Amino acid sequence: CAGNKTAVGMNEGKLLLTDADGKNTIALKGHTKKVTSLAFSTKQKLLASGSLDGSVRLWDVESGAAKLSLKEGRNVRTVAFSPDGKRVVYSPLFRDFRTWKRYRGGRAQDVWVYDLENSASEQLTDHPATDNQPVWVGDDIFFTSDRNGGKLNLYRWVDGGEPVQVTSHDEYDVLWPSA
């Protein structure tokens, strides 16, 4: 929910964008599989959606018009806007409910940022371990990772340096952070 709008993602790939009072519902079509993540820009002008169809889509909140589609080719689990609404952070691989953990290799997730002004994607993490579920808090990007060889913990991205571990849980994984 943002301002006077709410959004709901559906299993078949459709999104419903509705005024907070339940009136004026717009069906947004473009995804072909389950919608897994939604985020409003801070200025309520854009809605980002991630899907198991391997795409991140941006929508105009007022008209419901599709503004951009990024085809990642891998399931997208998480999307979040930067505070200024000019960038989107996402993780283009969804494997949260797999039976195996502490995976290293080709299906390990990474964190990416898409710059709306420059129409460019940048891969932030490139670690053999899992880096996923990014959120933006102020000017910082936080994400979960098991790069320490143990449980998923919360890390803060450091531009030009190594991510900083924020939590040190050794019994349970940190899952689905929110901001």
Is the pLDDT reported for residue 29 higher than 70? yes
Tally Cβ neighbours within 10 Å of residue 160.
4
Longest distance between any two alpha carbons in the chain, whole Å: 49
Matching residue, tokens 């503004």: 67
Q: Which two tokens stand for residue 72?
A: 């990642």
38-94 tens-digit pLDDT: 999 967 689 999 888 888 999 999 899 999 888 876 777 788 899 999 999 988 765
pLDDT score, position 44: 63
